[in-house]
């Protein structure tokens, strides 16, 4: 699937939102996400926050249920995903979960204070543009019970200098993978050419085209301290920030070694 010819509509819809919708709402990415592989930090978070996760949980953008299956072993899980194919697969594969098809920018079906935990793994909030992210963070605070937790990950702007070019991802020790990378190169270069002009580096965040889905998407990138400040704007207090291995990322650290950061937040100033 290729990105739309001219993302960035005159009605104010951002290029990021348009290419995201093209990829997720209209594409079929089930094969890529129908697995049960956890990052080390996710294992740690499932264990550390098992008590809260044993309550009422909402998972945003559950995909093929990579995390959902584990969450459903612990608590009562509902999920939402914009992709009909992902929803169909996850409901079939994990029947203890109820996954609804819908856009996480509309969570009006859930009551205020009704959730013990909201989980947004694999950087799903980063598909939203800046305005969408802020609106969703407001909603997440509304939905969380007073002691509830928001557990999510986001692309780390502190690692943005290591985002590869399409040529940087050709080499592989696996000959079959390398051959595939060569075949995909023209498509990746085309996507990169089309989308790089929509990249932006703003005060506290960046919108960047990265290697995901053959360079066909624009993601939100943010550093630890900026994310903590953004959470605070929405009445959420950072509990902890971890790298992919589960090591603490402390205030002031840019953590360039980790391309995603995992956050836990709760109600608070």
Residues interacting with ligand SAM, by CB under 6 A?
Answer: 20, 24, 33, 61-63, 66-67, 80-83, 86, 103-105, 121-122, 124, 127
User: Which residues, at least 6 apart from 152, have a Cβ–Cβ distance to it below 8 Å?
Assistant: 60, 118, 119, 120, 121, 124, 125, 262, 263
Smaller CB distance to ligand SAM: residue 29 or 76?
Answer: 29
Inter-residue contact 131 to 74 (CB < 8 Å)? no
Smaller CB distance to ligand SAM: residue 64 or 148?
Answer: 64
Smaller CB distance to ligand SAM: residue 104 or 206?
Answer: 104
Q: In angstroms, how far is CA 28 from the centroid of its own chain?
A: 17
How far is it, in rounded angstroms, from Cα 240 to Cα 29?
Answer: 31
As measured in angstroms, the least distance from the Cβ of 238 to ligand SAM is 21
Q: Which of 266, 243, 54, 59 is nearest to 158 (CA)?
A: 243
As measured in angstroms, the least distance from the Cβ of 269 to ligand SAM is 29
As measured in angstroms, the least distance from the Cβ of 98 to ligand SAM is 15
Smaller CB distance to ligand SAM: residue 83 or 258?
Answer: 83
User: Which residues, at least 6 apart from 96, have a Cβ–Cβ distance to it below 8 Å?
Assistant: 72, 77
As measured in angstroms, the least distance from the Cβ of 68 to ligand SAM is 8
Smaller CB distance to ligand SAM: residue 33 or 94?
Answer: 33
Helix (H) or strand (E) holding 148: strand 144-156
Q: Which of 157, 257, 162 is nearest to 203 (CA)?
A: 157
Residue 136, judged by CB atoms within 10 A of its CB (0-12, 13-18, 19+), counts as buried
How far is it, in rounded angstroms, from Cα 121 to Cα 140?
Answer: 14
As measured in angstroms, the least distance from the Cβ of 245 to ligand SAM is 17
Q: Which of 114, 90, 110 is nearest to 101 (CA)?
A: 90
As measured in angstroms, the least distance from the Cβ of 67 to ligand SAM is 5
Smaller CB distance to ligand SAM: residue 88 or 253?
Answer: 88
């Amino acid at each position: 699937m290729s990105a739309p010819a001219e993302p960035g509509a005159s009605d104010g819809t951002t290029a990021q939102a348009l290419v995201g919708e093209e990829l997720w709402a209209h594409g079929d990415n089930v094969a890529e996400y129908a697995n049960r592989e956890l990052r080390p930090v996710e294992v740690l978070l499932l264990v550390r926050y098992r008590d809260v996760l044993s309550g009422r949980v909402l998972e945003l953008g559950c995909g093929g249920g990579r995390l959902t299956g584990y969450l459903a072993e612990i608590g009562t899980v509902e999920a939402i995903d914009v992709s009909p194919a992902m929803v169909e697969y996850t409901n079939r594969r994990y029947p203890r979960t109820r996954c609804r098809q819908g856009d996480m920018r509309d969570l009006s079906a859930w009551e205020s204070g009704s959730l013990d935990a909201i989980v947004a793994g694999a950087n799903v909030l980063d598909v939203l543009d800046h305005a969408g992210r802020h609106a969703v963070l407001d909603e997440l605070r509304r939905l969380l019970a007073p002691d509830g937790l928001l557990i999510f990950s986001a692309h780390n702007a502190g690692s943005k200098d290591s985002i590869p070019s399409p040529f940087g991802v050709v080499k592989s020790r696996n000959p079959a993978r390398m051959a595939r990378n060569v075949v995909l190169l023209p498509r990746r270069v085309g996507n990169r050419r089309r989308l790089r002009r929509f990249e932006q580096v703003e005060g506290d965040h960046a919108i960047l085209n990265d290697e995901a889905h053959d360079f066909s998407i624009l993601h939100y990138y943010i550093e630890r301290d900026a994310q903590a400040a953004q959470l605070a704007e929405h009445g959420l207090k950072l509990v902890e920030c971890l790298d992919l291995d589960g090591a603490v990322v402390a205030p002031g650290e840019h953590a360039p070694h980790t391309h995603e950061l995992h956050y836990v937040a709760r109600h608070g100033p």
